[in-house]
């Protein structure tokens, strides 16, 4: 580990602590050359499969890219960042559990949409409209109809306007 200040290669560990439920080790270090202190974080490198896009391109699974898309879908919705992190973590866990080297983007997208549908229906429709690239309003309406006709869906609350029964 090189010192970020003087780039010296020799340093000593002053303190080590686990954080994020043991997933990350935080180490406080001191450079032996310049005596300055700095912190490093150590985590296990998890091997994620490559995502095979519709056009055949392959790219590494990008947690941040998925999280960004979900943030856009849940904008102004009652969905917390913790819920989004949990959703993305569940998707990552499933990908790792599959043990595949490559996975189609459609499998990732469908898994995300299934989980998002359970979390927030409006966010689900927003995400689906981008993910599925609806060609026209008829495709969009078909998706909404399927959502409304789902027998496992809890009944929606009726909104009443102030002053009207």
> Domain check: are 71 and 99 in the same one?
yes
With cut-offs at 50, 70 and 90, classify the pLDDT of residue 23.
confident
Selection from 144, 141, 161, 165 nearest residue 153 by Cα: 144
> Domain check: are 24 and 91 in the same one?
no
pLDDT of residue 159: 36
With cut-offs at 50, 70 and 90, classify the pLDDT of residue 2.
very high
pLDDT in tens, 32-70: 999 999 999 887 766 788 999 989 999 999 989 999 999
> Domain check: are 130 and 74 in the same one?
yes
pLDDT in tens, 67-100: 999 999 999 999 999 899 889 888 988 998 888 8
Residue 8 to residue 53: CA distance in whole angstroms = 43
Residue 141, pLDDT above cutoff 70: yes
Q: How many domains are there within the chain? A: 2
With cut-offs at 50, 70 and 90, classify the pLDDT of residue 19.
confident
Q: Is 43 exposed, middle or buried (0-12, 13-18, 19+ CB in 10 A)?
A: exposed
Q: Answer whether residue 1 is part of any domain.
A: no
> Domain check: are 33 and 105 in the same one?
no
pLDDT of residue 157: 42
Residue 158, pLDDT above cutoff 60: no
Residue 71 to residue 17: CA distance in whole angstroms = 31
> Domain check: are 140 and 85 in the same one?
yes
Q: Answer whether residue 38 is part of any domain.
A: yes
> Domain check: are 65 and 127 in the same one?
yes
- Looking at per-residue pLDDT, the higher value among 43 and 121 belongs to 121
pLDDT in tens, 130-139: 766 666 677 7
Domain span at residue 29? 11-43
With cut-offs at 50, 70 and 90, classify the pLDDT of residue 29.
very high
Q: What is the mean pLDDT of the chain?
A: 83
């Amino acid at each position: 580990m090189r010192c970020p200040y003087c780039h010296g290669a020799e340093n000593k560990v002053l303190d080590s602590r686990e954080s994020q439920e043991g997933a990350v080790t935080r180490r406080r270090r001191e450079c032996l050359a310049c005596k300055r202190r700095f912190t490093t974080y150590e985590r296990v490198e998890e091997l994620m499969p490559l995502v095979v896009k519709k056009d055949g391109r392959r790219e590494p699974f990008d947690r941040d890219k998925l999280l960004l898309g979900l943030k856009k879908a849940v904008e102004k919705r009652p969905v917390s960042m913790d819920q989004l992190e949990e959703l993305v973590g569940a998707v990552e866990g499933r990908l790792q559990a599959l043990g595949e080297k490559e996975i189609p983007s459609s499998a990732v997208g469908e898994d995300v949409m299934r989980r998002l549908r359970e979390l927030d229906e409006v966010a689900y429709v927003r995400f689906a409209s981008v993910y599925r690239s609806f060609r026209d309003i008829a495709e969009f309406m078909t998706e909404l109809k399927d959502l409304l006709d789902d027998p496992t869906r809890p009944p929606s609350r009726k909104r009443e306007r102030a002053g009207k029964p």
